Amino acid sequence: MSVANKKIELCQICRHEYTSLHVEAMPGIKIYVCDDCLEAARYNFIWICMNCGKVHIRNKKLVLARIKNMELKTAYIMCEGMQIIQGIDMCIKCDPQGILLYMDLEKFPEC
């Protein structure tokens, strides 16, 4: 790839650094991540809302301590040292009713 074709964008996590490092989260949607934020992903779970763009960063150890679902907890523990930045469909900021409805369905799946 030539330098002329290398696009540089603002990091979508910290919004301070410019970077050409990116991944395609969904077809046609690229997420740009700087080196510092990529390193932060080793110790934190980073979720980016694909609807509104808000970034949610949570310490991995704290999140793992709160997870009660053992299958989910085991999956996250296996990925503990990995740099994972996840795109999510919606967040509490852009769809609070959708999140609350989803949480109610998780508690009472037979309803």
Which comes out higher in pLDDT, residue 72 or 108?
A: 72
Q: In whole angstroms, what is the distance from residue 21 CA to residue 30 CA? A: 10
Q: pTM of the full predicted structure?
A: 0.73
Domain ranges of the chain: 3-107
pLDDT digits (tens, 9 = 90+) for 67-85: 888 888 888 778 777 888 8
DSSP output for 19-37:
E--EEEEETTEEEE--HHH
Which comes out higher in pLDDT, residue 31 or 1?
A: 31
